[in-house]
Amino acid sequence: MVSRNDYEWQIFPYDGNCGDYAVTKRHLLLRAGWPSSSLRLAEVVIRKTGEHHLILLVREGQASLVLDNLSGTIIQLNEASDQYVFLRTESGLNPQLWMRGLARS
């Protein structure tokens, strides 16, 4: 039996974890022409449950938005601190570099 490593993400999962969904959203937005610097993954803790979770942060003009597969609502990043504790986020300059907390790039 092959076990699945949490650090391996799938694009277009039939079912999966939050990482699969966040990476798929990022992939689709990249394919639609969004610049990678506007799309950052973020590891958070959901305040209500204490669950570790992966979300996608999308920068559109001056606005930063949170896309979360657990919610059908897109919220502004400045409203997200009520729902999440930000553990680390991708750098907007280098997606291989993760910053502690909420990177403001």
Instruction: For residue 38, count CB atoms less than 10 angstroms from its CB and return exposed for 0-12, middle for 13-18, buried for 19 or more.
Output: middle
DSSP annotation of 30 reads H
The percent of residues above 90 in pLDDT, for the chain, comes to: 51
Domain-wise residue ranges, the chain: 35-92
What is the C-alpha to C-alpha distance for residues 76 and 58, in angstroms, rounded to an integer?
10
Q: Are 74 and 83 in contact (CB under 8 A)?
A: no
- The residue-averaged pLDDT of 66-85 equals 92
**Residue 40, SS3 per DSSP:** strand
Residues 52-69 have pLDDT tens digits of 999 999 999 999 999 998
Confidence (pLDDT) at 84: 95
71 vs 15, higher pLDDT: 71
Predicted TM-score (pTM) of this structure: 0.81
Query: If phi over 0 gives left and psi between -120 and 50 gives alpha, with beta otherwise, what is residue 12?
Result: left
